[in-house]
Structure 1
Amino acid sequence: MVRSIVVDTDTGIDDAHTLLYLAGRPDAEIVGITSVFGNCTEEDAVRNIGHVTGLLGLDVPIARGAAEPMAGVAHIAGYVHGKDGLGDRGYERPLPEVTGESGAELLVRLARERPGELDLLALGPLTNLGLALRLDPDLFTRYRSVVLMGGSGPYARPGTLLMVDANIDNDPVAARAVFAAPRERLVMVGVNVTAGTILDERAIAALRATDTPTARFATEILESYLDFYQHEWGRRIIPLHDPLAAGVLLDPGFATAAVDGPVNVVGNGFQTRARLMRTHDGLPPSFAYEPAPDTHVITEVDTARFVADFVEVLTS
């Protein structure tokens, strides 16, 4: 079965890899893309969408989305993805042709035109989704599924630290609206599983050894990402955050364990996370929380099988 996918993206390095991955999978069809701030500014995000779709020869509707969160100030991760979001390689990135509607409006229009047929893949801050829910509070019931890269899973085992939940932290207001909204199926692929899904030296070497435009581009934009993550593990390796969310959308078998339950967006005064309201051993937390419809929260993945598939797609 071919899944028709609308992609909402703050087009940084792993977002670009995700578009390459989706375009290379025979069971995926990208039918629309919306831009949002996050890994880079919204303008850079839409320029990067145009660059990647041009490289792939994709002609799909593109709409410009939110340049700032629903409340507060945008935090741009140029120190991770490069100032332009693609590692500052100097690519010519003219503004692509856009539909003229907002990102939120495109998300609503496509869902109403093809109810029950489309999947929505959200790879950045959830601002466009939050704004779209203001236009259509039942929006998620019109998508076959909504899969997002964000969140932190259940509460971790005591003493365990997690990577920053950047997409949620960048717009907690929008995230709260997303997790409270009625839905057909909402899947959270959070940093609890993406941070351990590693493209290691061997996999990166396989990409570098492949002389195709897609593989060359995928490796060219890696350097900024590797420069950042080498300070996490002392090795020039990266996590496949956004690609894993796409993989789970296309092949739910990549997820080997999941829990259904309410998700709340909670802060500690420094940063905000989306949490399944369960402890690591499946118990409710020891404080009151807001009721919410069930979200399908991924808790374990077959990382070896996914990474092998990702490399095969980008090198074939």
Structure 2
Amino acid sequence: MRRVVVDTDTGIDDAHTLLYLAGRPDAEIVAITSVYGNCSEEDATRNIGYVNGLLGLDVPVARGAAEPLRGPAHIAGYVHGKDGLGDLGRDRPLPRVSAESGPELLVRLADEQPGELDLLALGPLTNLALALRIDPELFTKYRSVVLMGGSGPYAPPGTLLMIDANVNNDPEAARAVFAAPRRELVMVGVNVTAGTILDEHDIAALRATRTPVARFAVEILDAYLDFYQNEWGRRIIPLHDPLAAGVLLDRTFATAWTDGPVNVRGDGFLWRARLMRTHDGLPPAFAYDPAPPTRVITAVDARRFVTDFVAVLTR
């Protein structure tokens, strides 16, 4: 059993992740913290409340960062809809929230239950960086910290990667996270999530299931499909955040990984978190900052995970 604290910028695939975690018999959602990213922090909190209501889930919810450590927030409304759930006009009142901030809740739970909880970060890493300012040893108190973000090792020449949005939204926070001491830090990056595809057959299976969970999962998909059809010419989506949850719960979904230092580096346009290795395992051709080892997932059994994801949401 994994007892999971979820930090989320609750957009469409984040909502799918909460549905997946709630449907897995080996997972318990212990608490949820909100952060900006896919939508505003307030909308992320409203969406947490909506999904929790759908699931009948009563866990602590704490509001987190509304902007990065430095600079304005970048909100991905063009991907997830302005409200984060596809702009379907749902009534999403603010849920009851903790008097603690998101970072404060992350610290307190780790202090109260050291080694018992897993932290799953699905959005920009601002809350985690703020929590590390309170307790620099925070990650040593979680059983594991699993991040949806990063870009893996350097890709083979000529290969383009999807944007590393969660790192790009707050590179300063990401830098603090990858430099922090930890028990286990796992990076599930766009190098593996972009190829983990919910295709037309899988979406049809969700659509044919008339449970409230499956119906909601399909209804919020349209905005996401509208965006990703411009990538592939098909109405299909990558399961970015759900895959990170899957790897947290079942490490056999990951078929290859490398442990090593991760640095956050920019190219003048975008920021990425990268394992300081080339695709063939060599160090990069420049000096880089030392960092404690992060477990960087480099390959996954995408089809087996997608099959499990659909099975959980259609039970």
TM bin, normalised by shorter chain, reads over 0.9
2:294 counterpart residue number = 295
Deviation of 1:165 (Å): 0.1
TM-score (norm 2): 1.00
Matched residue SS, 2:225: helix
Distance 1:108 1:55 in 2: 28
1:263 aligns to what?
262
Deviations 1:84-114 (A, max 9, x none): 0000011100000001111000000000000
Q: For residues 302 and 93 of structure 1, what CA distance do their matches in structure 2 show?
A: 36
SS of 2:16 mapped into structure 1: helix
SS at match of 1:226: helix
* 1:39 maps onto 2:38 in alignment: yes
Matched AA of 1:286: A
Matched, 1:140 2:139: yes
Q: In the alignment, which residue of structure 2 is the partner of 1:161?
A: 160
Compute the displacement of 1:258 (Å). Answer: 0.2
Corresponding pairs, count: 315
Match of 1:201 in 2: 200
How big is the shift at 1:73? 1.1
Tell me, what secondary structure is at the counterpart of 1:264? Answer: strand
Query: Is 1:18 the equivalent of 2:22?
Result: no
Partner of 2:119: 120
Corresponding residue of 1:183? 182
Query: Per-residue displacement from partner, 1:104-134 (whole Å, max 9, x unpaired)?
Result: 0000000000000000000000000000000
Unmatched runs of 5 consecutive residues or more in structure 1? none
Aligned counterparts of 2:186 and 2:174: Cα–Cα separation in 1: 13
| Letter paired with 2:20 | Y
Deviations 1:189-242 (A, max 9, x none): 000000000000000000000000000000000000000000000000000000
Q: Within 1, Cα distance between the matches of 2:2 and 2:100?
A: 24
Deviations 1:17-38 (A, max 9, x none): 0000000000000000000000
Q: Residue type of the partner of 1:257?
A: A
Match of 1:59 in 2: 58
The offset of 1:256, in angstroms, is 0.2
Partner of 2:108: 109
Moved over 6 A (4+): none
Q: Report 1:222-241 matches (<5 A).
A: 222-241=221-240
AA partner of residue 59 (structure 1): D
For the aligned residue pairs, the C-alpha RMSD in angstroms reads 0.3
- Give me the whole-angstrom Cα distance separating, in 2, the residues matched to 1:172 and 1:160: 22
What secondary structure, in the 3-state scheme, does the structure 2 residue paired with 1:305 have?
Answer: helix
Secondary structure of the 1:4 match is: strand
Matched, 1:243 2:259: no
| Letter paired with 1:111 | A
Q: What residue is the counterpart of 1:192 in the other structure?
A: 191
The corresponding residue for 2:280 is 281
Can you list the C-alpha shifts for 1:72-93, whole angstroms capped at 9, x where unaligned? Answer: 1100000000000000011100
What secondary structure is seen at the aligned counterpart in 1 of 2:209? coil
**3-state DSSP class of the match of 1:159?**
coil
1:294 offset after TM fit, Å?
0.1
Q: Which amino acid aligns with 2:271?
A: T
**5+ residue gaps, structure 2:** none
1:143-170 CA distance string (max 9 Å, x none): 0000000000000000000000000000
**Which whole-Å CA distance do the structure 1 matches of 2:70 and 2:141 have between them?**
26
2: CA distance, partners of 1:3 / 1:244: 15
Deviation at 1:45, TM superposition (A): 0.1
The CA distance in 1 between the partners of 2:99 and 2:194, in whole Å, is 36
Distance in 1 between the 2:54 and 2:108 partners?
27
Distance 1:23 1:219 in 2: 17
SS at match of 1:278: coil
Q: Distance in 2 between matches of 1:178 and 1:108?
A: 14
- 1:314 paired to 2:313: yes
SS of 1:110 mapped into structure 2? helix
How many angstroms does 1:6 deviate by?
0.1
TM superposition shift of 1:292:
0.1
CA distance in 2, matches of 1:278, 1:143: 27
